[in-house]
Amino acid sequence: MSASKEFRARSIAQRDAFWAEQAELIAWQAKPQQICDFSRPPFAKWFVGGTTNLCHNAVDRHAAERPDAPALIFVSTETDTEKTYSFAELQREVERTAAILQSLGVGRGDRVLIYMPMIAEAAFAMLACTRIGAIHSVVFGGFASGSLATRIDDAKPKVIVSAEAGMRGGKVVPYKHLLDEACALAQFPPEKVLMVDRGLEKDFPRTEGRDVDYATLRAQHMDAKVPCVWLESSEPSYILYTSGTTGKPKGVQRDTGGYCVALAASMKHIYCGNPGETMFTTSDIGWVVGHSYIIYGPLIAGMATLMYEGTPLRPDPGIWWSLVEKYKVSVMFSAPTAARVLKKQDPAYLKKYDLSSLRQIFLAGEPLDEPTHEWLMTALDKPVIDNYWQTETGWPILCELPGVEKTPVQLGSPGRPAYGYDLRIFREDGSECGPNEKGIVGIVPPLPPGCLSTVWGDDDRFVRTYFSLFKSPLVYSSFDWGIRDEAGYHKILGRTDDVINVAGHRLGTREIEEAIQAHSAIAEVAVVGVADQLKGQLPLAFAVVKDPARIATADDRAKLEKEVMQTVDGLLGAIARPGRVMFVNGLPKTRSGKMLRRSIQAIAEGRDPGDLTTLDDPSTLDQVRAALG
């Protein structure tokens, strides 16, 4: 048995012994008395009786040992700012922010909502919350007022930390009016709003008696000493609301000790990050990747973390690689969408900088297609390792383990189950699938450390949402279709609710997208199912081409559309052929790179596309409308 296979197997067969070893990677004030309490399925409590603190593990213990080592590298190509904080400097800033929050009445168990751009103060606020035992809930900066208000009412924060504006693509994105409107809509508005004034929006509105200035209070707490509050392992560390929720929002609740251990273990076994090195994760703190691998994971491992405000194309498509060279980045984490954006740029930018420090790049966020995977590996001449995970899990479900054993990368596959996950593929009747048989990706509980412990304030919803699809055995449903080959490598084929029912045939949109992208002219594609009177649903494809010259005329477009149809016929059969393949310059995505397929579908069916707050480029929806005629 290979080393990685044995490692995975032992994590399931000898669960408590395995995780007891991983628990040694972090600092405990009091050691756990029990590794896993699974006496009330599906709820699991990890490292019961152990007391620890996320901020202590991320900041203080390194500040004591290596005070001058870089900890937080803040880079904004929007404001042309670069600043590096050592571990000692980061500790001082976090203590100042913690003292500010305490002065505003925040204590253990209180919620603090963070609605901020990608600036250093956002990191200080997150770490300050975990330092004093408060529970943070980060909401993506610029989120719509109505959506923000529902999150305020669900979390009931004592304080909101915000900034008057962010920046995107050189343009100011005002936040304060959205925040004020959300507070007016909310039934449980906060007592105080702590405002960071970046000087981007002059004369932004201020609410007397509620709004307080960060810089003013920071000056009052320059010498503050705020000790870490030691929390029992199962106490909550944060709430993170899943994207795309409707009605009452669904707050993923994360614990403290299990999350800390899970991240420490992942930095060793998956990401191979070492103290003194630098990790660059291109996500946003509003998403789970930003929580786990911009803020907590790298710092827990003693690495410097590069926090970036900007796009991959500004000032030019070489910006990320210039940062890799400048800060000697060894581990990089990005998204397939970002790779596809870079794929359309001049390849010279990938060869312009010294990338010798970079060992490997990890991708997650949505399925990685084989052509993009192969292109990036070839262009960078580095291993490109796909991951599959969810907001709910907090760290990878499927991944290779280069820290345990170097194993071959399979193009288009996020690999095999991570240690701790008893992952299986299920048929819809609850029986298990065989190799190369499509089914629903499920996990037999207990979920490993770091996964959600419940839905904030709603245990019943936790059980109802995640553990009701299959009852025997009890299984966590990922709501994703997947397939496993004989060697154990998996592919994710899309959400179970992204299934198109064409004349009784169930087709995953992801499968059709893969087939379309097999055509050499296609750079990117989104497939949606649209209501059809004859067939029930019909797949429609919206594609971006690599070379616009291929679609210069109507005849060119018709010719390429026919070629793409033939490619789909050859790979999947005529039943999967899209009703149309329409060509656009760009596809609607969130700022984190998630494709807004439901909005595309709504427009195609003449419906309201819904909340578009996180839409990166509004013109892409206009292109969809124009393509539909």
Q: Which of 542, 556, 536 is nearest to 599 (CA)?
A: 542
Q: Is the pLDDT of residue 104 over 80?
A: yes
Q: Is residue 444 part of a domain?
A: yes
pLDDT exceeds cutoff 80 at 349: yes
432 and 518 share a domain? no
SS3 content of the chain, % helix, strand, coil (to 5): 35, 25, 40
In the prediction, which pLDDT does 425 show? 97
| Residue 493 covered by a domain | no
Residue 487 falls within a domain, yes or no? no
User: Considering only CA atoms, which of 293, 250, 251, 283 is closest in space to residue 399?
Assistant: 293
Compute the average pLDDT of residues 472-490: 93
CATH (domain of 621): 3.30.300.30
Residue 550 lies in a domain: yes
Q: Are residues 508 and 453 in the same domain?
A: no
Residue 39 corresponds to which tokens in the numbers above?
A: 């006496």
109 versus 537: the higher-pLDDT residue is 109
pLDDT in tens, 181-218: 999 999 999 999 999 999 999 989 999 999 999 999 99
The number of folded domains in the chain is 2
Tell me which H or E stretch contains 544: strand 536-545
Q: What is the largest CA-CA distance in the chain?
A: 72
Residue at a domain's end among 423, 447, 479: 479
Distance CA 35, CA 399 (A): 24
Q: Are 251 and 456 in contact (CB under 8 A)?
A: yes
Contacts of residue 593, defined as CB under 8 A and 6 or more positions apart, other chains included, come to 335, 336, 337, 338, 365, 366
Reported as a single tens digit per residue, the pLDDT across 147-157 is 899 999 999 99
One domain, residues 258 and 189: yes
User: Would 492 be classed as within a structural domain?
Assistant: no
Is residue 243 pLDDT above 60, yes or no?
no
What residues are paired with 232 via a beta bridge?
A: 51
Average pLDDT over residues 523-539: 82
- Rounded CA separation 112/461 (Å): 23
Res 505: pLDDT: 60
The answer to whether residues 296 and 183 belong to one domain is yes
Residue 444 CA: distances (Å) to CA of 270, 407, 422, 475, 497 = 22, 25, 5, 5, 21
Residue 301: give its domain's CATH number: 3.40.50.12780
**How high does pLDDT run on average in the chain?**
92
| Confidence grade of residue 245 (pLDDT, cut at 50, 70, 90) | very low
Is 544 found in the same domain as 470? Answer: no
Backbone φ, ψ for residue 496 (5° rounding): -65, -25
Residue 506 has pLDDT above 70, yes or no: no
pLDDT at 110: 98
Q: Hey, CA dihedral for 355, 361, 367, 368, is it positive or negative?
A: positive
| 465 in the same domain as 512 | no
Contact 320, 267 (CB under 8 A): no
Given 417, 451, 479, the domain boundary residue is 479
User: How much is the pLDDT for 460?
Assistant: 96
Residues 309 and 458 in one domain: yes
Whether pLDDT at 421 is above 70:
yes
- Mean pLDDT on 125-134: 98
pLDDT of res. 244: 42
Residue at 141 is within a domain? yes
- 294, part of any domain: yes
- 463 and 504: one domain? no
**Domain limit, last residue, from 479, 512, 546:** 479
Asked if pLDDT for residue 366 goes beyond 80, the answer is no
Phi-psi region of 136 (alpha: psi -120 to 50; beta: other; left: phi over 0): beta
Predicted local confidence at residue 512, as pLDDT:
87
pLDDT at 504: 55
Q: Which domain holds residue 598?
A: 498-628
485 in any annotated domain: no
User: Quick one: 464 and 503 in the same domain?
Assistant: no
* Percent above pLDDT 70 for the chain: 97
Whether 459 has a pLDDT exceeding 70, the answer reads yes
Task: Determine which of 4-8, 51-55, 305-309, 574-578 has the lowest per-residue pLDDT on average.
Answer: 574-578
CA angle 477, 481, 483 (to 5 degrees): 115
Mean pLDDT within 445-455: 98
Residues 362 and 240 in one domain: yes
* 455 and 588 inside one domain: no
Give the pLDDT score at 290: 95
One domain for residues 515 and 458: no
